[in-house]
Each structure stands twice: as C-alpha cells, then as structure tokens.
C-alpha cells in the first residue's frame, strides 16, 4: 500500500478531541474549560449545542497536545470526577495515528474514484489498507491507486461466509471504520454490530424519502423537483441510520431517469466525502436516531 501524507496534517499542531454528551445544566462549559486550563491545555477549537427538548448538552473541544500535562493513560483517571459530576458520556480521541478506513464497493465507480482521489491527494487524512468488493469490476481502478483490492463474491447461500471473510480481513488490517461506496448488499445484523456507529453509507436519495433500491426511478415516477443524496451510519434497519450529511439538486420535467442518475452521482460523491471527513475529524456525536455534527 502506498502511504499518503497530508500537507495540512504536517502543518497543523497535534491535537486531541474531547467529545461530550450529558444532561444540560449550567456550569458545564466553565468546568470543562477550567479543567483543561488547570492541566496546561490550550483549546484551539470548541463548539457546543443544547437540545432543550431532550434536556441534552453536546460539546466538542479540540486541545493542543503540546504542553497538555495529561497522557492518554492518565486522562481518564483525572477526568472521571468531573464526568461523574455532570453525568457525561464522553470519549477522547488523541490523534496518535490516522484512522484506518476500509471501503466496500460493488460495480459503480463514482464514489470510490472520488475517495481514492481525496486520499491520494492528502485531502482525506486516513490510512486506506484495502477495498473489498463482491464484484471484480473495479480492481484495476483501485490497484492503480496503490490500494489492495480483495474480491469476495457473495454466492448463493454464502453471504454469512463472505461477511465472515470480510470481517477477518478488517480485523487483520486493524480497520477503524468502514465506508460503503455504493456497495449493493444489505449487511447482516452481526456485521453491523461488529462496527456499530462506524459504517458510513451513501444513499441515492434525500432520506427518509425513497428508501431502498431504484431511488432515482422512484423520484422520477413522482415528478420530484429536487433530487438528493444522504450519507448515514448503518443500522439494522435499512436506510434508517442516523443521518450525517445530505445534499440536493434541482431537477424538472425535462429530466429523464438517466439525467437524474447522472446528476445524482456528482451529489453522492460530495455528500459521502463530507460525511467521511466529518467522521475522520471526530465531529459527530450520535443522539438517538439523530446526529450532532460540529462543522
């Protein structure tokens, strides 16, 4: 595999990202900022959101690593009293290494081509150890970019075996998250459980409208005036996971189904790349069936 480095990553100071979800109450921001300052941390970015309907508070804090006197081992111990005080669910992403992303594809090339370009150019700051497909069609495209391609067909009655092989590959490559770049198979419940909240899909519709297959045909039949694309986390329910990013384009009565498909492909590329970037930069918190995206 060819490793790519991002110039942006080289020039940006190393940071850790603290993500918090808890019941909303006064004093949370002051307590978090005070804690970080007390341990010589410099906050380079902070964002928060209060949901009055759920009485919930969400926060993302990016802390410069240099000078911060808490290590990854020590931080949970020292942080725990404050977390318990505010009933926080939290995680700290230290950024010691780029996330390792695996991509699953079938036959359509537009989304994987875009991801490969963004990875190769350094725009997408991940390691990309492999692409897995249930068809051989995209092998040359992928390997030409210096990424390993693994063809694992789904034979009749052999879906469980194929998924088991995929998971073994991901485990061997220490994959952190998975992107479905128009992978045209429904993942089993056990597969989803193995990467809970870490599988990102692109759907060729503005969900929740036109879920399932042939979304552009459904949209055409309804005479829609906009088409959309939706990137979401995969759950056990098809096309029903928490939505990360969406986009739309205007269409009209002059557009054929083929026009909708052509225009939609461009939209799918951008929406999927946006969602992947937000995940890589730890900008997403899940709240029930929704996401909080700090961008």
Catalytic machinery residues: 239
Nearest to 276 by CA among 201, 215, 187: 201
Q: What is the CA radius of gyration of the chain?
A: 21
Q: Could you identify the residue written with the tokens 């410069």? A: 64
Pairwise CA distance, residues 215 & 221, whole Å: 10
Pairwise CA distance, residues 76 & 41, whole Å: 15
Nearest to 290 by CA among 229, 225, 246, 226: 246
**Across the strands, what pairs with 18?**
61, 92
Q: Report in angstroms the alpha-carbon separations of 107 from 165, 229, 285.
A: 20, 18, 32
> Is there a cis peptide before residue 208, judged by omega within 30 degrees of 0?
yes
Q: Could you identify the residue written with the tokens 């802390």? A: 63
């Amino acid at each position: 595999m060819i490793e790519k480095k991002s110039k942006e990553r080289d020039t940006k100071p190393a940071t850790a990202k603290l993500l918090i979800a808890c019941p909303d109450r006064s004093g949370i921001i002051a307590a978090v900022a005070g804690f970080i300052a007390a341990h010589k941390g410099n906050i380079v970015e902070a964002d928060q959101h209060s949901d009055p309907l759920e009485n919930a508070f969400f926060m993302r804090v990016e802390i410069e690593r240099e000078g911060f006197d808490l290590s990854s081992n020590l931080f949970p111990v020292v942080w725990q009293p404050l977390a318990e005080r505010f009933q926080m669910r939290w995680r700290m992403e230290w950024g010691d290494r780029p996330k390792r992303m695996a991509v699953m594809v079938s036959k359509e090339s537009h989304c994987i081509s875009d991801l490969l370009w963004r990875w190769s150019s350094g725009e997408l700051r991940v390691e990309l150890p492999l692409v897995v497909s249930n068809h051989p069609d995209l092998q040359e495209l992928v390997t030409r970019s210096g990424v390993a391609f693994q063809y694992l067909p789904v034979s009749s009655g052999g879906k469980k075996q194929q998924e088991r092989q995929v998971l073994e590959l991901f485990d061997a490559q220490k994959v952190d998250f998975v992107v479905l770049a128009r992978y045209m198979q429904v993942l089993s419940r056990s597969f989803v459980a193995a990467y809970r909240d870490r599988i990102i899909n692109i759907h060729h519709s503005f969900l929740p409208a036109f879920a399932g297959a042939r979304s552009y045909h459904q949209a055409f039949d309804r005479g829609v005036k906009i088409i959309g694309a939706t990137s979401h986390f995969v759950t056990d329910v098809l096309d029903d996971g928490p939505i990360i990013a969406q986009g739309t384009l205007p269409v009209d009565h002059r557009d054929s189904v083929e026009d909708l498909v052509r225009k939609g492909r461009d939209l799918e590329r951008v929406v999927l790349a946006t969602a992947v970037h937000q995940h890589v930069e730890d900008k997403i918190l899940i709240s029930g069936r929704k996401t909080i995206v700090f961008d």
